[in-house]
Structure 1
Amino acid sequence: MPGATGVLAWLAPRAVPRIEAVLPSQGGLAAYRRSLRGAAGPRVASAAVVVDEASTEDPDLARLFDLGGTAARAEADARLTWAAERHGAPALARAVAAEPALAQPGCADAHEMLVRAIVGQQITVAAATLQLGLLSAAGDPLPEALVEDGIDRLFPTMAQVASGADLLRGPAAKTAAVRRAAEVVASGAIEVAPGADLARMRAELQALKGIGPWTVGYLSLRLGDPDVLLLGDVAVRKGARHLGIDDLPALAADCAGHRSALMLRCWAAAAAPPPAA
């Protein structure tokens, strides 16, 4: 996902109705808007995207769009290019050169991202977005003065998720996992935040029934972890094939510290048409 345009395209199918919206492009301008809660009360924050560059005054949306991460992305590109040459994967090197500095999508609300990660386990993006839309009914309505662009609610707090988890439809085990995680995080027993000890967070969450390696890895990625690679992810494996990577674990070992960038490359390659024979 090159720059802000890629993050916006990533967000569009995942936008939860009444909570967030990706507004259509007009003259090269697109925008993302969403409700958020903070110490000063609820707000609706916006980010504008022009020619693949995002701008926002909201620090949570700045994190979502990976603003300020340019130097880290350049360092990751250099490592991936070196690894591609070392392991005979020129398609990976070409992908880096063609679209340098892929943005790593962050998150505006860490607790919400945990719920999204659990709900999204082993279902499509469309199905997960539908389920999250059902769950959003447990959240507080926005003050009338803030209602705009179809955004009229806040995503539920962890306490509200725990009490409203039955709004979800689907396997009872997943609903129970959502409730269990929400209860633990609401109690303060597990810290889920961008500044948290992510290794500890992953271990503590994975100890909960119904939460596995993919979920905690994806959450860690969205919280800014630069070294996540979900080797069992189907799209990761597909993208690696498209990039000509014969031995993904071996190449990944040479990308230690930057494996999130490698995973983003694999996801991007999986979403693109396969290379010509």
Structure 2
Amino acid sequence: MAIYTDNNEFTPQISTGEKIKKYRLNNNLSQVDVARMMKKSPVWLSKIETDQREIKVNDLVKICKIFQIDISELLGINKSNSGYKTVLQNVLSNLPNEIPVYRTQELDKLFITKEPVNPTMYAYWDPNIFTDEALGLFIDDDSNAPELNPGDRVYINSEWQNNIPFGYEDLLRRVKNNTLWLLEILPSSKSLICNDCGGKQDHFNRPKFEEEYSCLCSKGFTIARAKNDEKHLSFFNNYMNLDCYEVRMIGRLVQIIKEL
């Protein structure tokens, strides 16, 4: 791969994966050693080193810290060249984000019990489309058929709530009618106090286990369509109708890949 900028050409002699392997061996580290420091599996590192898998920018930065090298050494960019910073920025901005894709039946493990779950697959997306926090899911039910069928793949923006005001009127303005959402179904409550445990419900962010007086109850997850008449917000699919106070909004579906 050749990279051009300011009439200069930079051509990496060997792939990034091969360079990672070279620096690992030079540091007398095994794949197990590096994988442990990266909090990844040895299989992940093996695929990176053999160029069977793309590496995320964040992981690239971490691995450079382990080897105590500059990122330019892995990307094959000459730091002495006047266009170095431009080339580096271009390369990093074009590295894809790795998005794990899970089955919807595994959402309890992901969000509630926090059990380790191996993704069914990984998808690679332009970082301008999806951040590292995006969530991929395989649909395994017909609750939103025929629009979403078993085997279809969806991608969810799980960062939507970070900047949203918490007032109901703001929510009515932000949530568009007919948009699809991943929801966590909550027990009935009164004034946001859970009827089951007496804890305070948070309808935007899942509370941490150690947070005292917070409701950790859950009745499972579903995908449903928003019904917003600018006065009231609710959600529905083929099997249920839910008021906005009955759910925790995990994220909005932003991409659907149909199973052919």
Fold match (TM-score > 0.5) = no
Smaller-chain TM-score bracket? under 0.3
Q: TM-score, normalised by structure 1?
A: 0.20
Higher helix proportion (structure 1 or 2):
1
Higher strand proportion (structure 1 or 2):
2
Task: Identify which of structures 1 and 2 has the higher relative contact order when contacts are C-alpha pairs closer than 8 Å and 6+ apart.
Answer: 1
